[in-house]
Structure 1
Amino acid sequence: MCFHTSHTQKVKKVENRFNVALIDEKLREIYDTPHYHNNGFEHLNSLIIPQQKNTHLIPAVWGIVPPTKKVSEVKEYYKQQLKYGSGLNARSEKLFDYWLYQKSALTKRCIIPVSGFFEPHEYNKQKYPIHIKRKDDELIGLAGIYTVVENVVTYTILTKAASPLFAKIHNKKLRQPIILSKNIETDWLNSSLKQKDIEILLAENYNDVDIEAYVVSKDLFNSKIDSNVPQILNNTSDLVFTQD
């Protein structure tokens, strides 16, 4: 499951890469600040590209919340859902089966731009955080869905069964976030898609040859340590994961 991401690029680079514009210029300074480690369980705001306004970057809270809730109920909802992952991820296989996802799947899909993300790898009964990014340091677009809770947007990252590369990395849960190939990003936000069209896009395989994955400090998993520092992205081992 994908509970940790990194956002290190300036907003202008995100705008250029995805051909979008920040919805409010007053937000630029806030989102130009790099987040080397964004811990999903802190439910921070991130920038997403929503289906309903697909030419813009808008702020959204990581952790999907039912649209029937009130903003005042969101924190309590996250606490109640903690054992289920606090809405950070959604299994794409359940996209049209689970009530919370059904409507969003058709009308509120989104792209979550990230510099990279982290997954756990287990070796000798110990967990090691792995940082995953593109070899060329280009931005990655993750597939997601969102809801609107009063005036707040909340989102979740969609996951699927791991590819051969991600099965080596996330070798216990065998899951991965859905990375959208650049050529299908526009399709993903197309408001005319039907269920079958969406399922076809979800089944598209990303070219894992473009991916670089390596071990970083275990500080990432330590809530008592501030891991939102540049050093958290440093390679700490000779172990590197690549596609065969």
Structure 2
Amino acid sequence: MCFHTSQTKKVKFLEKRYDAELTKSDARDAYDIPRYHLNGFAHPDMLIIPQEGPTALAPALWGIIPKNKKQEQIRDYYKEAVRYGGGLNAQSEKLFDHFIYKNSVFTRRCIVPVSGFFEPHEHKSKKYPFHFKHKDDDVLSLAGLYTIIDKVVTFTILTKKASPLFAKIHNKKNRQPIILQNDFEQDWLKDDLNENGIKELIHMDYQEDDLIAYSVSKDLFSPRVNSDVETIIEKIEYPELPKIV
């Protein structure tokens, strides 16, 4: 599952890339700070492109909340939902019948721009983190859903069964985030997209040749270490780890 991401691109880069504009202009400096490790379980404030405003870069909390909750209930809900994954990921197979997802799937889809993300590989009962990014250092567009709680936007990242590349690395859960192909990013935000169209985009495989994956420091997993540092996305080789990709 996709619980850890990075977002190191400047706001201007994202605005140009998606032909969108930051909705919270006074926070531009804050969003320009590179985030090398965004731990989903800390429910960070990130930028998304919502279906209701496809030319907007909007702040949102990572971890989707049911629409019947109030803003003051968000933190308590996160504490309660941690055993269910904290609302960080949504299995695409459940989109049309899950009590939260079914209320967002037709009207509140979103793009979650990231510069990269992390997945664990298990070898001899030990976990090794791998970092995924675009080979040309472009941003990756992850498919998501969102809800609006009073004035707070909360979102989740969609996942599906792993492709051959992801199955080699995320070899325990065999899942992967849904990465939208560049040519179909805006299709994901179209209001007239029906169930079949949504499923078609979900099942469309991203070009694996456009991705780079490599092992990184195990500090990513340590709650005692500040892993939101540039070195966390640097390659680390482990002699005991067989070549995977």
TM value normalised by structure 2: 0.97
% identity of equivalent residues: 53
In structure 2, the residue corresponding to 1:67 is in which secondary structure?
Answer: coil
Matched ranges for 1:177-188 at <5 A? 177-188=177-188
In structure 1, the residue corresponding to 2:41 is in which secondary structure?
Answer: helix
Distance 1:55 1:8 in 2: 20
Q: Does 1:62 align with 2:62?
A: yes
Match of 1:9 in 2: 9
Distance change (3 Å), C-alpha of 1:151 and 1:173: same
In the TM superposition, what is the alpha-carbon distance from 1:24 to its structure 2 partner? 2.5
In the TM superposition, what is the alpha-carbon distance from 1:149 to its structure 2 partner? 0.5
Distance 2:203 2:40 in 1: 25
Return the letter of the residue paired with 2:221. F
In structure 2, the residue corresponding to 1:59 is in which secondary structure?
Answer: strand
Distance 2:155 2:140 in 1: 17
Q: Give the superposed CA RMSD.
A: 1.0
Structure 2 unmatched runs, 5+: none
Q: Does 1:102 align with 2:102?
A: yes
Q: Is the 8 A contact 2:166 2:174 kept in 1?
A: yes
Moved over 3 A (4+): 238-242
Q: Is the 8 A contact 1:122 1:171 kept in 2?
A: yes
In the TM superposition, what is the alpha-carbon distance from 1:99 to its structure 2 partner? 1.7
Distance 1:41 1:222 in 2: 13
Distance 1:39 1:112 in 2: 15
Return the letter of the residue paired with 2:188. W
Matched ranges for 1:1-244 at <5 A? 1-237=1-237, 241-242=244-245
Return the letter of the residue paired with 2:123. Y
Distance 1:78 1:39 in 2: 14
Distance 1:51 1:14 in 2: 16
Return the letter of the residue paired with 2:30. I
Q: Is the 8 A contact 1:215 1:240 kept in 2?
A: no
Q: Is the 8 A contact 2:24 2:59 kept in 1?
A: no
Distance 2:130 2:179 in 1: 16
Distance 2:73 2:25 in 1: 29
When structure 1 is superposed on structure 2, of 53-62 and 17-26 the one drifting more is: 17-26
Distance change (3 Å), C-alpha of 1:189 and 1:85: same
In structure 2, the residue corresponding to 1:75 is in which secondary structure?
Answer: helix
Distance change (3 Å), C-alpha of 1:241 and 1:6: farther
